[in-house]
Structures are given as structure tokens and as C-alpha cells.
Structure 1
């Protein structure tokens, strides 16, 4: 850059700085001024709530939420509805791979090493029986209740679909569970219902998954 260019650049910078200084000048006070105040958020919420209670909209909102919640309970999303058309048996290996060392908190010894494959059945038997059914099918519901009484295990009836869930609980006077988000169906690879899962003596280190044709 030559001297002329540097000179022009210096002049431009000087002009810009002068302009900035001019605009930054205190022009004084024009008219009456007021302090800036923001409403307190908590007070605002209380005020809105009081107004909603007074005009009845609060009660309407409560009733709407209750109704929506009851609807979700009574008519949960269908996880699995395919009925078993042919009985079959397969086995599920519950072994898991340890992703980090498991250390005894008392003596700090390593109970399981990272990368090791552990089968829970080697340490604790699976004394439960899971009964998966479509809760909308009266035949499957009756089967599950009879199986629950007959089984030597502690049973849990798990629904993969349901209609009027609370009414079902009241009528049958029995505890039913729902497979939220289909986690169990996905984990065990269940394709049809009814399906029962328990531990037998044929392959004691695995879980028996039996699709039952009614």
C-alpha cells in the first residue's frame, strides 16, 4: 500500500470516529422519564391463576387434563395384536456383556470385568412367569387368569393392547401390567400373543418363550 492510500485510509478512519463521537453526544432529557419496571413473574402467575379460578376456566382445564389422562389409561397404544395361530417354543439367552468393571463397594474387589459375558441365571433363578396377551380379547384374558392360578411360578399378566383398562381391572379383580412402549415385546422378540415366558429344566440357563395357540 503506497503513502497516498495510507493517507486516505487515515482520513476515512478519522471521519468515522468523529461521526461516532457526534452520535454518542448527550442530547439531554426530552420530556418526563419513568423508571423501567418489569412485573414479578410469580405475582403474574398468581394473578393469572386467580383470574382463571374466578372465571371458571381453571376448573375446565383440570377436567380436560383428567379426561385426557383417563383416555390414555383406558386406551393405550396397541403394542402387539397378532394372535398365535400355531404353538411354538424357543429359548432366549439373557446373558449380558459387561461394559465396565463391576466393583464390590465393600472390599473393592472386581466382581465382573469389562467385556465379560454374564448370565443372570447363574446367580439367581428366574422364578416368575410372564404372560403376554391382548387385553381386548376375552378368550386371552380368561386364559391368562387360569394360567396365573395354575402356574407354580409367581405370574405377571402383561397386556400388549387394551380397551377400558380400568374397567378390566375392576371386573377381574386382578393386577394387569401394560408393556409401556413395547420394551418387553422388543427385548424378547415376541411376535404373537398369547406368549408365556418362564425358566424350565430343559435349558435352565435360558428363558423358555412359548407362543400358545388357544
Structure 2
């Protein structure tokens, strides 16, 4: 190479458009949501959605979901149940005195007796309803539905009914069939699955 300096030539060329291009648009999310809500409001959809949610809430209260897996008592079955629990935190009285320490096994029946029996029934079965109401006064027992609407039956029977939401009680007591009666027996609970015939036998 003589005295001519080495040169690098760079050239930029237009190769044309390789594909479709789009403008970048960033919308404020809150603006989009607000616009959609205004549209729903103007079209009456918000009121409709609110009414639907209200109706569903009322229905879930008036007609709770039936407890699954329960049958009808065909033969008597009775057993004792220990209601003892393991305390998760220290329990103290109003003066700060320790009643039970964390991790201690405590039987609530040692402190409070079950003053009312718990009677579990299928509230959609008129035979079970009539039997429970005839046999157990409101002072003597709480009648607890595992199916059906307790609210719809309060007026015809002129008494309060309850519902075992999610089957928490029957599951804890090991109840598999209704009617079932839970009674206090010393520091234990007596659980009896009791067959009922038409006519309240």
C-alpha cells in the first residue's frame, strides 16, 4: 500500500418497508375503565348487574347450599363424642388469670354445659320437620337444617330454624345420616342418628 490512507466507506440505504407498522398508543387504564362504566351506566347494565348480585346474595341466604354426602337414618346409631380441643393461644379470664395454656387440651364441657340439644334434619323432608317440631320445643333444642330453607319454614312452624353452613358441625361430629340428635352427657356429647317414619314415629 503506498502512502494512500486506508479508508472505510459507510453507506445507508433505504431497503423499503419490511412489514405493516402501527402507531404506539398508550391509553390510561383508569380512563378506559371509566369510559366502560359510563357506558354500562347509560345502558342500564350496572343496575341490572347490581340487581343480579343482590338476588344471588338473597338466594344464598334463603336457600343455602345443601350439605353433601348425607343420607337418611335407616337404623339407629349412637356414640359418644369428645369435644375437647387443643388451645392455639393462651386463654385468660377478664382479670388476666390463665385458664388454659397454649397447646393444652381443653374440654369446653368442663366449663359450659350444652343446655339445648342440637337436632339435624333435612329441611326439605316434611316428615322430619314435623317430627322435630313435635318432639323438641324451642327451649329444649335447636333444629338445624342440612338441606332446604330455614327462612321459608319459620313462618309456617312459628319457630326459629338454623342451617349448618358448609356442613361444619355434621362433619365435626361424624354425622352421616339425619335426623341426628346431639345431647350433653357429662363432659361428652351423645350423638344419635334416629330413623323417623311417616307420622312422626
| Aligned CA distance change for structure 1 residues 75 and 204 (closer, same or farther; 3 Å) | closer
SS at match of 1:197: strand
- C-alpha distance in 2 between matches for 1:206 and 1:212: 19
Displacement after TM superposition at 1:132 (Å): 0.2
Displacement after TM superposition at 1:207 (Å): 1.0
- C-alpha distance in 1 between matches for 2:187 and 2:58: 41
| 1:175 has 2:160 as partner | yes
Q: Deviations over 1:31-75 (max 9, x none)?
A: xxxxx986483x665554343232121232223323433443426
| Aligned CA distance change for structure 1 residues 91 and 63 (closer, same or farther; 3 Å) | same
* 2:18 paired residue number: none
| 1:96 has 2:85 as partner | yes
Q: Deviations over 1:122-175 (max 9, x none)?
A: 1111112111001111101111212332xx85422111111x554333433332
* 1:204 paired residue number: 186
Contact 1:81–1:161 at 8 Å: present in 2 too? no
* 2:21 paired residue number: none
Displacement after TM superposition at 1:92 (Å): 1.0
Displacement after TM superposition at 1:118 (Å): 1.7
| 1:76 has 2:65 as partner | yes
Contact 2:120–2:143 at 8 Å: present in 1 too? yes
Mark the runs of 5 or more structure 2 residues left unpaired by the alignment: 1-24, 197-201
* 1:59 paired residue number: 47
| 1:87 has 2:72 as partner | no
> Over aligned residues, Cα RMSD in angstroms?
2.8
* 1:194 paired residue number: 179
SS at match of 1:207: strand
Aligned length: 171
| Aligned CA distance change for structure 1 residues 64 and 116 (closer, same or farther; 3 Å) | closer
Displacement after TM superposition at 1:117 (Å): 2.2
Mark the runs of 5 or more structure 1 residues left unpaired by the alignment: 1-35
Which of residues 156, 179, 182 is equivalent to 2:142? Answer: 156
Query: Which protein is richer in helix relative to its size?
Result: 1
Q: Please report the TM-score for the alignment, with normalisation by the length of structure 2.
A: 0.70
| 1:185 has 2:170 as partner | yes
Q: Please report the TM-score for the alignment, with normalisation by the length of structure 1.
A: 0.67
- C-alpha distance in 1 between matches for 2:146 and 2:69: 5
